[in-house]
Amino acid sequence: MKGDVSMETRITRRRVVQFLTGTPLFLPALNWAALAQNIDERNIRSRAALVIANDQYVKERPLSGVAFDAKLIERTLKNIGFSTKELLLNADRDKMTREICEFRKDARLADIAMIYYAGHAVEVEGRNFVLPVDADMEDGFSASATTIELSMIMQAVGFARTFGVVVLDACRNNPFVEQMKSDGNVNRHFSVGLAPYIPAKNILIQYSAAPGQVASDGNGSEASPFARSFASALSSKDIPVVQSMQYVIKDVQSQTANTQSPYFSGSVSDQTLSLNPSRKSPLLSADTIVDLQVADYDDVTVKDLVEYDFSYKFSGLDADGLRIIRPDDPYFDSLAEGRTPRVEAQDCGYFDLEEGTTGWGISFPLIDVVARRNRETTISISELVVDVKRSKPDRQLYIGLAAPSDKFCELVVYNQGWTSVKSARLDFDVFVVEDDNDIEKLIIDKKDGQFRYTKNIDGFSEYRSINFEVDISKELKQFSFYKYAFYNSPSDERPQRGKAPQGYSAWLSRNPHIFDVEKQDSALAVYIIGKMVLRPSDETQGVSTIDVVGKLPIYAPAGLGGGFLMYNAVNSIKLKTDGADYQVRKNIEYLLDSDVKTYRFLMPLIPDQTSDHVLKFSLIGNGGMRLFESEWMNIKAFVPRLSKKYASFVRQ
């Protein structure tokens, strides 16, 4: 038993420092190959599964046999030792999304995670979507807004320690496809069957039928060929998972006279791993299993707490071998790789200091902790302890842009760093384009740095506006028409009428979309492309160079609303930046007993300004016992200067 204790300590310590890599829409599944080197992979300790079945669709006739198949798979998984959540039957999109995200909690504490889905699915332009019971496929917008992309399911099982499995029994004759094909306003590609999907390493996905094929359904009293074969494969002991999937393919082909051919894709590091090992795994010696990471900002639970502008990710090791966690944003990627960062103004963006919406919002690292009781005894969790050392403020200049909707042909350069700008110089060109797709070519063409115009910018601490009216008038012959339209929009409460330029009425009749919000994108676009060199007031910080791309409003757009960001001030961890070593202790007071087996909490790390911190986390319980301890890690917390000034830290 002593050896088991040591092994479990290594597992939890390695597990804590695996972090997510974020994008606006999804985060790639995690790869635990490194972790697998420290455990006997054939001795699987924990397996978790979620079974989803949808057959009672609101806008289509019921499917036959889906619930029967799902119950068979759920029962089989329980019989072979999987910890299964309650069968999710006929769930709408909100319910499915929440349950899949909630399953991540179980997957994070399991060696193997599996999601089995039975119901309708559809391919749209090469991407696969599963359909909740309230799916609406009448038009393109409703289709994208009422389905769930397969990537969300793949990400959920990707949290498992060793490997994940997704099973899609969804290759059915899909009436939704015909609905979408008949929508003349939708310029998308839909097809029968599902598109091939290449999962991340250590994730397997099995389909009930090959692309273009339709899987046979059960009749409600007998399972479908695929469900029978998959349940049989699960029940067979010690069969490597890849061989199990190969067995399913051959068995279904035999049952259906080769009219249905399941297939799978993906890979696992150890080809001997089995979903149903005969050797019983010893009980974990630790009382609790704990996982700690920086939160996935696409997680529904996280979104309920706070709206993020960007997430954080693992980005290599520092000079001392500590893992670096920094914002997951192209700006910071460029700096880390020694490249010039590029800043872009929002298309007719919103800039209002009173609301603090200035491009980068506040995106503090959010610590996401899950603890599970591993024995029948009651476990108390009393404190989260944070040890901090080598904290220091980051004095680098971080620059952003906005194209304010209430100013004609202006950019606002705002300083999100914590050192003032002494002076700046912008070398640039002006371009007038009809198609925004042309802009990337223009940017590439300007990499030689040859620009026609120059503007010198006075020093500033927070922001500085730059007016381009004179430069644009040289490029845009209709400049006076746009300028008059901008200041005399019908939506303006006090338009500046003045005298209309000659020919304005005729021009406006030819361009009626100027004041049509739905069609404003068809108007000409003015771009500023250039390079900005900034000198900080603290000369020890050195000069900063930024590539600039700004799209300027040439008509009166509708402004976009902003707002305050709120965090729970009671349950946040305040970080100092004075360089001293210190400790933060946060009371939790929670019991894991027969009623509650798993507990999850989230806490933001909140410094006063952008800064770097070396941190270690410990979870205390059971009368002062240390239940969990992470490794030291180096975290950069980015706090935008303007947004921080107007943020509200109040209890939600």
3-state secondary structure of 383: strand
What was the pLDDT predicted at 282?
Answer: 45
**Listed residue (230, 276, 297) closest to 51, CA to CA:** 230
What was the pLDDT predicted at 378?
Answer: 85
What is the distance between the terminal CA atoms of the chain, rounded to a whole angstrom? 45
Spatial CB neighbours of 401, under 8 Å, sequence gap ≥ 6: 343, 344, 345, 346, 359, 411, 412, 413, 414, 548, 550
The H or E element containing residue 627 is strand 625-629
DSSP one-letter code for 25 = S
Burial 409-419 (b: 16+ CB within 10 A, else e): bbbbbbbbbbb
Could you count the other beta carbons within 10 Å of the beta carbon of residue 279? Answer: 11
Please check whether residue 111 is in contact with residue 160, taking contact to mean a CB–CB distance below 8 angstroms: yes
Please check whether residue 288 is in contact with residue 627, taking contact to mean a CB–CB distance below 8 angstroms: yes
Question: 94 is written with which tokens?
Answer: 């909100």
Phi, psi dihedrals of residue 22, rounded to the nearest 5°: -100, 150
CATH number for domain 47-266, candidates 3.40.50.1460, 3.40.50.300, 3.40.50.150, 3.30.56.10: 3.40.50.1460
pLDDT beneath 50, residues of the chain: 1-43, 182, 184-191, 281-285, 350-351, 353-358, 558-565, 649-652
pTM (2 d.p.): 0.68
Packing angle of the helix pair 241-255, 225-235 (nearest 10 deg)? 150
What was the pLDDT predicted at 67?
Answer: 92
What was the pLDDT predicted at 464?
Answer: 92
Per-residue pLDDT reduced to its tens digit, 285-306: 467 778 888 877 667 667 666 6
Annotated domain spans of the chain: 47-266, 282-395+568-651, 403-565
DSSP string for 313-380: EEEEE-TTSPEEEEE-SHHHHHHHTTPPPEEE--TT---BTTTTBSSS-----EEEEEEEE-SSS-EE
Q: What share of the chain is helix, strand, coil (3-state, %, to 5)?
A: 25, 30, 45
Strand partners, 606: 574
Q: Whole-angstrom Cα distance, residue 336 to residue 349?
A: 27
Per-residue pLDDT reduced to its tens digit, 113-168: 999 999 988 877 777 889 999 988 765 566 667 889 898 999 899 888 889 999 99
